[in-house]
Chain A
Amino acid sequence: MMKRRIAIALAIFTSWACVGTLRFPAFGEDDAPATAEASAEPDSELLRMVLDLVGDKDKDLRALGFEQVRTEVKGPAATREIAAQLRKLAPEAQIGLLGALADRGDPAAMGEVFLLLETSRDETVRAAAIAVIGVLGNVAHLGTLLQRLSATSEAERDAARQSLVRLRGDDVSAQIALCMELTDYRAAARVQMIEILAERRAQGEVPQILPKALNEDPAVRAAAIKALGALASAEHLPGLVQVVLHAAPGADRESAEKCVAQVCSRVADAENRAKPLLAAIEVLSPDKQVLLLPTLGRVGGVAALPIIEAALTDSDAQRREAGLRAICNWPDAAVAPRLLELAQNASQSDEARALALAALVRVAPLPDKRPDSERLALVKQVMALCTRDADREQVIKRVRAIRTIETLRFLVPYMDQPRFAQQACESLVELAHHRGLREPNKEEFDRVLDRVIATSQDAAVVERAGRYKKGQTWVRPK
């Protein structure tokens, strides 16, 4: 089986490598569905009308023809006759007919589509033809699509990538993964293939992607880690912890840790999300286990907590520091009391207290099962602990997640403090954005929004405040 797969991959590579001598795939038995409907003769009168329309100079009339191509005049014989019109049309009409043929869904059009792809001088037409291959093609067309990933035309490259994501067939993802191994590909091509596999939700190819997360090329590594975060499951955690250990401290390590947390977040039992990770960690040497504590903290949950607690009070300084980072990475406010303790504990270093405080600022307002009043009370407590304006500003920014009128009242006084006024204005319009909160408290919001308009130096914030006062909506720019 594996030999056959490799053979196909090599064949695909060969076809890719033979630029200029690309062979059209054979269209015959493989492409024509052997159904009664497919073998029926096309309705000659309707077909004649449709052929006239798709070739018409008037785009409205052509559109009528395309509409028929999409759903009517059944059968592969009709498809071939219609597709044969492609070579006679102007580019604009060719693009329209290609789209209609894709929607028609009959692979019998592919011969003409390939002919157009190879002969058209118009890159938008070629891109449209590539898009059709993505819809009507199969694994046999992988070579063509992979080749076009490095076309000089951006439109063609984009279309090829989209088509590789769309291409149907059980073997397609596996073949892309195998092509990834071929030595002649540049790193950029591998990155694209990994991204395509992620978009295809190719979970079966995780074992092929995992080694790429250890690749020497940083772009390949980054693409693989991102793909694994989306595709991998608990069974792949032993491999993923190696990725974390391999990653250099800093941004690389952080993205690897987030990848593991993302995978664990898909474990259905929320409280036990750390369990498969713990199982993967337990078999490692103690020094490696320490390195993985911050990752465990990102996953959180009751199973992880005793281990982190133990590390926090361990006699070994390295282990304590890892424990501190772990608890500061916690994904929710369950550890808030412990963080409060750390932030206020004079025996902790300044750095440790600052880390704990930053973690509190992050988790205190997070939406969870706590009542809004409890969340806001914690935020106020955290604010009281802040000694730096940068932290206070973060509190003012993040408190907007608690959508209550009490939050508005908490924020209003900060408009009077020049250091915080701009951030307070932004958070206040964010609160006002929520109609369900704003409308029942319209008078109070209107008064505050007037002050925002008078205070804010951000034109967008002022505009939003004005819109909300008038009961208008605002669309967040993408």
Chain B
Amino acid sequence: MLDQAFEALKTYDWGADRNQLLPIEEAVITTRDDAAARQALEARIAALLAADVSRDAKDFACRMLMIIGSAAAVPALAALLPEHDESHMARYALERIPADEAARALREALPKASGPLKVGIIGSLGVRRDTASVPALAASLADSDAAVARAAATALGNIGTPEAAKALAASRSTNADVKLAATDARLACADSLLAAGKKSEALVLYKSLAGEDQPKHVRLAGTRGMLACAGKAQ
């Protein structure tokens, strides 16, 4: 059954009977306690990514690797990151694979990417809260592509470390969308810092956003943060 399902993937495309692939979906779950079987299954699925199969078949493979992918599948997935049609589904797996190799692959792809694909990779690094990518994300804050800078700000907000906050404070973008994202990210960093017990660092951030020069809802956010700091025991 499994062999037949893999055979079906060779010609699988939009409109094909999805039930043909059910044995693979079942194997992804049932090999949980059989390391060798799962490793073999992972390798077989990863091999599809370099094969001459449809975008739909690769889409399916990435969905399966999201569940069982390990460091072993990362090279095959990383190879798709620069591809317009497949970059997202490669991230679909890489973003969720806990192995450090997955984060490294995303970081290494960043300098070579541009436009929407770069936005996507930045987004995935942010979701992973990848502290090692902070310098690269800090640099991306100044990217001439506002969508990239905006994504970098959001990613730094997700990471939320003092280094991320520092990078955001240095942002000088005049683009309204980037400023909006950077403000939100600074508030997110302040929340993270306060939760981590770094009250004075958080307070500085909140105060800087509570002034009359900010839109009202941002002032409210800053004030709310200051209240949280005042209520937090040292």
Partners in one complex: yes
Which residue of the partner chain B has the closest CB to A73?
B231
The reply to whether A61 and B227 form a contact with Cβ atoms under 8 Å apart is: no
The reply to whether B224 and A64 form a contact with Cβ atoms under 8 Å apart is: yes
Tell me which residues from 136 to 150 in chain B have a Cβ below 8 Å from any Cβ of chain A: none
Is A289 part of the binding interface, using a Cβ–Cβ cutoff of 8 Å?
Answer: no
Q: Cα distance A50–B230 when bound, in Å?
A: 10
Which residue of the partner chain B has the closest CB to A48?
B230
Q: Cα distance A339–B224 when bound, in Å?
A: 71
Residue pairs across A and B with CB atoms within 8 Å: the count is 26
Is A45 part of the binding interface, using a Cβ–Cβ cutoff of 8 Å?
Answer: yes
Main secondary structure of the interface of A (DSSP, over half): helix
Contacts of A68 in B (CB 8 A): 227, 231
Contacts of B231 in A (CB 8 A): 43, 46, 68, 72-73
- Contact bitstring B161-197, A, C-beta under 8 A = 1, else 0: 0000000000000000000000000000000000000
* Nearest CB on A from B130, distance (A): 34
Q: Cα distance A169–B231 when bound, in Å?
A: 32
Q: Cα distance A124–B230 when bound, in Å?
A: 33
Is B54 part of the binding interface, using a Cβ–Cβ cutoff of 8 Å?
Answer: no
Q: Cα distance A423–B224 when bound, in Å?
A: 59
- Contact bitstring A165-192, B, C-beta under 8 A = 1, else 0: 0000000000000000000000000000
Interface set of B (CB-CB < 8 Å, partner A): 216, 220, 223-224, 226-227, 230-231
Is A49 part of the binding interface, using a Cβ–Cβ cutoff of 8 Å?
Answer: yes
Which residue of the partner chain B has the closest CB to A65?
B227
Q: A43-B230, A46-B227, A50-B227 are in contact. List 4 more A-B contacts (CB 8 A).
A: A45-B230, A60-B216, A60-B220, A61-B223
Which residue of the partner chain A has the closest CB to B223?
A64
Q: Cα distance A64–B228 when bound, in Å?
A: 11
* Nearest CB on B from A45, distance (A): 5
Contacts of A45 in B (CB 8 A): 230
* Nearest CB on A from B219, distance (A): 9
Contacts of A53 in B (CB 8 A): 223, 227
* Nearest CB on B from A62, distance (A): 11
Q: With A61-B223, A64-B223, A64-B224 as given contacts, are A49 and B230 in contact (CB-CB < 8 Å)?
A: yes
- Contact bitstring A114-147, B, C-beta under 8 A = 1, else 0: 0000000000000000000000000000000000
Q: Cα distance A43–B230 when bound, in Å?
A: 8
Contacts of B227 in A (CB 8 A): 46, 49-50, 53, 64, 68, 72
* Nearest CB on A from B62, distance (A): 32
- Contact bitstring A44-59, B, C-beta under 8 A = 1, else 0: 0110011001000000
Main secondary structure of the interface of B (DSSP, over half): helix
Tell me which residues from 54 to 98 in chain A have a Cβ below 8 Å from any Cβ of chain B: 60-61, 64, 67-68, 72-73
Interface set of A (CB-CB < 8 Å, partner B): 43, 45-46, 49-50, 53, 60-61, 64, 67-68, 72-73
Q: Cα distance A49–B226 when bound, in Å?
A: 9
Contacts of B226 in A (CB 8 A): 49
Contacts of A73 in B (CB 8 A): 231
Contacts of A61 in B (CB 8 A): 220, 223
Q: Cα distance A125–B220 when bound, in Å?
A: 27
Contacts of A50 in B (CB 8 A): 227
- 4 closest cross-chain pairs (CB), A and B: A46-B230, A72-B231, A45-B230, A46-B231
6 CB-based A-B contacts, threshold 8 Å: A46-B227, A50-B227, A61-B223, A64-B227, A68-B227, A68-B231
* Nearest CB on B from A235, distance (A): 52
Which residue of the partner chain B has the closest CB to A72?
B231
Q: Cα distance A61–B219 when bound, in Å?
A: 9
Q: Cα distance A61–B220 when bound, in Å?
A: 7
Q: Cα distance A45–B203 when bound, in Å?
A: 14
* Nearest CB on B from A171, distance (A): 37
Q: Cα distance A45–B229 when bound, in Å?
A: 10
Q: Cα distance A49–B232 when bound, in Å?
A: 14
Which residue of the partner chain B has the closest CB to A63?
B220
Q: Cα distance A31–B231 when bound, in Å?
A: 25
Q: Cα distance A53–B223 when bound, in Å?
A: 10
Which residue of the partner chain A has the closest CB to B233?
A43
Q: Cα distance A45–B231 when bound, in Å?
A: 8
Q: Cα distance A45–B230 when bound, in Å?
A: 6
Q: Cα distance A50–B227 when bound, in Å?
A: 8
The reply to whether A64 and B230 form a contact with Cβ atoms under 8 Å apart is: no
Contacts of B224 in A (CB 8 A): 64, 67
Contacts of B230 in A (CB 8 A): 43, 45-46, 49
Which residue of the partner chain A has the closest CB to B216?
A60
Which residue of the partner chain B has the closest CB to A44?
B230
Q: Cα distance A50–B231 when bound, in Å?
A: 10
Contacts of A72 in B (CB 8 A): 227, 231
Contacts of A67 in B (CB 8 A): 224
* Nearest CB on A from B55, distance (A): 31
Which residue of the partner chain A has the closest CB to B226?
A49
Q: Cα distance A46–B224 when bound, in Å?
A: 11
Q: Cα distance A60–B226 when bound, in Å?
A: 15
* Nearest CB on B from A344, distance (A): 56
